[in-house]
Amino acid sequence: MINRLSTRLMNICVASCCKARNLVKAEAVIVDGIRLGILPSVTTYNTLVDAYCRFVGLDVAYSIIGRIKEAGMRPDVVTYNSLIAGATRRQLLSQVVDLFNEMIDAGITPDLWSYNTLMHCFFSLGKPDEANRIFQDIILSNFSPCSTTFNIMLHGLCKNGYINNALMLFRNLERHGFIPEIVTYNILINGLCKHRRLGAAREMLQELGKSGLEPNAITYTTVMKCCFRSRRYEQGLEIMSVMRSKGYTFDGFSYCTVIAALVKTGKMDEANYYMEEMMISGIELDLVSYNTLMNSYCKEGKVEAANQLLDELEKGGLECDQYSHTIIINGLCKAGNIEGALRHLQYMNVIGFKFNLVAHNCLIDAMCKSGQIDRAMRFFESMEIKDSITYTSLVFGLCRERRYKCASKLLLSCLRSGMTILKSAKRAVLDGLRSSGLTNEAKKLQSKIRVARTYRSDLDLLS
């Protein structure tokens, strides 16, 4: 009895060390416990599995299964659920599937948590059909879905472009005996904002108010971000001041939203003010905060400082992502250092990052703006993926060099690939053709643009 109580105490200690990301101390607590004759339970190990998954790596977490067996116990459904969640966070589908099978082979029956996580995994990998199959299985099986099941489903539908299906499911929630939570509303408001359905988002916000729930910091940050995205900066900043005056948590997410918007609009004084405030607020800076700071440095031309920050965060145990590197590449481009940017792009490639469209677009634009249009065209040919931003930069670049015929060809191939292009880019080409006496070419281009548009809307109707 005393020992079991001690085990529970040990679990509380281990959990608190894990929460503080101090895994060395967590292990030390276990060693000390064993010395005193207190044996860890599966729960103790499960706590470790989750922490190793989150903060160290999947392999180390997985190796705990061996330790559980050595201690004469068996891993349980929680052990596997934690590992599956870890693999899901890292988007490792094959490992998720392997773990699932291994769990079943070990005679452990997956529970609702397992299926919820699996569903989330499929959604985050862009496999909505598979996720939906799991959802149907849950509904038809003996499990009763819980609120998380519905929230994961709604979020997954929104993220995969099925906002209308999400709304339909939302309207049917009551039939499933489920009352929307604040999380549910936040998921839908965000989905509507991302699909630029601001009116519907506002209605949802009102509905949230009427339901008796209070919007929280996440709701506010979502709506604020939406304002910035639709270039209503004043309105966004107003929401920020409401948040602050009403005493809502103003955390790293909110700071990054505001700082990025200020940097984007060139309001560097205000951006610096909030950056300073964020840094002295005691909020632990995470990767996204660092990326936001790096981008701000770059905007001021301090690429070296941004690079230092990149080293600093890696020394601090964080791992740079493609945003970090793209921000540096963009910074180098904007500072006119195309060679440096190309070197960094190659470095990204060497350390295992996949093709990054944004980084390539930065380089295309920089080459165009520095008068190296032929180099830009060669670089363009080498790109495995292109989008409307790639084309826009090049079309403007070609117009700047008065190569209107070439610009016209590129414009058409953009439209014919089903992409849209800025109106101002079309106008630059048409005006250019006319001003250089190619009136006939301009007319032809205009009608071809019209044909491309009709064709595109036919495609839209078909899909």
Partner DNA sequence: ATAGGGTTAG
Looking only at residues 421 through 460 of this chain, which bind DNA when binding is defined by CB under 7 A? Answer: 421-422
Restricting to residues 166-185, name those near DNA by CB under 7 A: 181-183
Out of 95, 221, 307, 408, the only residue in the binding site for DNA (CB under 7 A) is 221
Size of residue set near DNA by CB under 7 A? 76
Does 389 contact DNA by CB under 7 A?
A: yes
- Phi then psi for 349, rounded to 5 degrees? -65, -45
Q: What is the spatial distance between Cα 121 and Cα 115, in angstroms, rounded to a whole number?
A: 10
Does 52 contact DNA by CB under 7 A?
A: no
Q: What is the spatial distance between Cα 438 and Cα 403, in angstroms, rounded to a whole number?
A: 12
Q: What is the spatial distance between Cα 188 and Cα 158, in angstroms, rounded to a whole number?
A: 7
- Residue 28 host element (H or E): helix 23-35
Which region, judged by CB under 7 A, interacts with DNA, from 27-35, 247-255, 401-409, 440-448?
Answer: 247-255
41 within 8 A of 35, measured Cβ to Cβ: no
Out of 373, 396, 415, 429, the only residue in the binding site for DNA (CB under 7 A) is 396
Which region, judged by CB under 7 A, interacts with DNA, from 168-176, 305-313, 386-394, 448-456?
Answer: 386-394
Does 95 contact DNA by CB under 7 A?
A: no
Identify which of residues 243 and 433 has a Cβ nearer to DNA in the complex: 243
Does 160 contact DNA by CB under 7 A?
A: no
Out of 357, 383, 412, 438, the only residue in the binding site for DNA (CB under 7 A) is 357
Does 222 contact DNA by CB under 7 A?
A: yes
Out of 64, 306, 359, 430, the only residue in the binding site for DNA (CB under 7 A) is 359
x/- string (CB under 7 A) for DNA, residues 6-35? ---------x--------------------
**Which pair of structure tokens corresponds to residue 462?**
């078909």
Identify which of residues 183 and 438 has a Cβ nearer to DNA in the complex: 183
Out of 65, 327, 341, 445, the only residue in the binding site for DNA (CB under 7 A) is 327
Which region, judged by CB under 7 A, interacts with DNA, from 2-10, 115-123, 126-134, 341-349?
Answer: 115-123
Residues in the chain: 463
Q: What is the spatial distance between Cα 384 and Cα 217, in angstroms, rounded to a whole number?
A: 40
Does 392 contact DNA by CB under 7 A?
A: yes
CB burial class (10 A; 0-12, 13-18, 19+) of residue 322? middle
Question: To which residue do tokens 């599995």 refer?
Answer: 49
Which region, judged by CB under 7 A, interacts with DNA, from 24-32, 56-64, 219-227, 374-382?
Answer: 219-227
Restricting to residues 261-290, name those near DNA by CB under 7 A: 263-264, 286-289
Restricting to residues 400-419, name those near DNA by CB under 7 A: none
Identify which of residues 216 and 438 has a Cβ nearer to DNA in the complex: 216
Does 307 contact DNA by CB under 7 A?
A: no
Out of 58, 167, 204, 256, the only residue in the binding site for DNA (CB under 7 A) is 256
Q: What is the spatial distance between Cα 391 and Cα 4, in angstroms, rounded to a whole number?
A: 67
Least distance from DNA to the Cβ atom of residue 437, Å: 27
460 within 8 A of 423, measured Cβ to Cβ: no
Question: To which residue do tokens 């990052």 refer?
Answer: 353
311 within 8 A of 283, measured Cβ to Cβ: no
Restricting to residues 334-353, name those near DNA by CB under 7 A: none
Out of 95, 132, 307, 393, the only residue in the binding site for DNA (CB under 7 A) is 393
For the chain, what is the largest distance between any 2 Cα atoms, rounded to a whole number of angstroms?
A: 96
Identify which of residues 237 and 260 has a Cβ nearer to DNA in the complex: 260
Residue 8 identity (one-letter amino acid): R
Least distance from DNA to the Cβ atom of residue 67, Å: 18
Which region, judged by CB under 7 A, interacts with DNA, from 76-84, 311-319, 401-409, 436-444?
Answer: 76-84
Does 82 contact DNA by CB under 7 A?
A: yes
Least distance from DNA to the Cβ atom of residue 21, Å: 14
Identify which of residues 97 and 438 has a Cβ nearer to DNA in the complex: 97
193 within 8 A of 226, measured Cβ to Cβ: yes
10 within 8 A of 39, measured Cβ to Cβ: no
Identify which of residues 36 and 139 has a Cβ nearer to DNA in the complex: 139
Q: What is the spatial distance between Cα 446 and Cα 439, in angstroms, rounded to a whole number?
A: 11
| DSSP string for residues in 297-361 | HHHTT-HHHHHHHHHHHHHTT----HHHHHHHHHHHHHTT-HHHHHHHHHHHHHTTPPP-HHHHH
**Which pair of structure tokens corresponds to residue 202?**
């506002």
Does 252 contact DNA by CB under 7 A?
A: yes
Q: What is the spatial distance between Cα 332 and Cα 344, in angstroms, rounded to a whole number?
A: 9
